[in-house]
Amino acid sequence: MNAHDIILGPYLVEYSSARTIDRNVSETGIRLEFATPENLYCLPIFRCIAYDSQLLDFDSLFLREVDLPFETPCWNFQLKSYIDGPYVAITAFLAELYKRFSRLIPIQKFLTNFFDCLPVSGSTRYSPDASLYPLIEDLSKAGYRVSNVQPYGRRIMVWLAWTFPQIRSNEQTKWYLDVCSIDFRPKPERILGSGKWISYRANRIENLLFSDLQRIAPQEPALLFQDVAKARLLSEFDWTSLALMTSQEARQARIEFIRAHPHLISDSKCLAQALKDAGLYGPDTSLHQIRKFLESLIKDSGVRKNL
């Protein structure tokens, strides 16, 4: 055992005081407690009201900077100042705590205990029917699920979230904790592809859940989904002629378009727009991006500009 071990906690503990600091911040009456071999730490949790006075979520919970046992990196939106000094978002502190120390209770168990004391709402409301996109059994049992799906252009974006056990059986619940997203680029062979992880900002509790998800299922993103989920995602994808082309085929189609419309090469902006209107670039591709490739395409087309 060493100084970087947590021998107790972290836990949430109720206490009697629940003072109001000013009209925007008040004590919750709950402390975050944990112990190392050298010290016991008891940090009062405060609720900072920003937009919705009825909403209790992680982003509204803060700790006083003066109470923190170590410096906590955070984003500007995770730092607030009131009459008694600066406050740091509890999400930033927890991310740093789990980064610095070992032997802490698992993040899922901590969040479950957290919800018993402070039933936070979560970080996202977006929720398709999770039964349409089932994850593998190990992840589903651990509370992970699909929270949003958005096909667009040549990609399908899928968001994953984690649900508190206390509300997990309620299929109508709209509140989850974001975990990560996955960027799928379906292949012309009508397969989903392996997918690319997109994690959230550092210093957020979402990153702790993302690490937990990868511990449970360390494989590539596509393997996290059951076959019925992958089939459903592919059925929602817009299989345009461009989506059914390989990269080489798409390039050749653009070259043939230029050969068929040689009058456009004198105006790169008009040519880029024409290629996009013809469906040879996706809707999410900007004209600026297209124009960067025009010189090479025009050269390979053999079409010469009129002098």
Q: d(Cα 47, Cα 228) in Å, to the nearest integer? A: 42
Q: What is the DSSP string of 104-162?
A: PPPHHHHHHHHHHHS----SB-----GGGSPBPHHHHHTTEEEEEEEEETTEEEEEEEE
CA dihedral angle for residue 163, residue 164, residue 170, residue 174, rounded to 10 degrees: -50
Residue 137 confidence class, pLDDT cut points 50, 70, 90: very high
Residue 183: what pLDDT?
A: 95
Domain ranges of the chain: 8-117, 130-235, 247-301
pTM listed for this prediction: 0.80
Reply yes or no on whether the pLDDT at 134 is more than 90. yes
59-69 CB burial, b ≥16 within 10 A, e <16:
bbbbbbbebbe
Query: Is-contact 124 176, C-beta < 8 A?
Result: yes
Tally helices (H) and strands (E) across the chain. Answer: 8, 11
Strands in the chain per DSSP E: 8-14, 20-22, 25-35, 40-48, 61-64, 79-82, 85-89, 144-152, 155-162, 177-184, 196-199
pLDDT in tens, 23-76: 778 888 899 999 988 889 999 999 887 655 566 788 889 999 999 999 999 888
pLDDT in tens, 147-178: 889 888 788 999 999 988 888 776 666 668 88
Q: d(Cα 177, Cα 108) in Å, to the nearest integer? A: 11
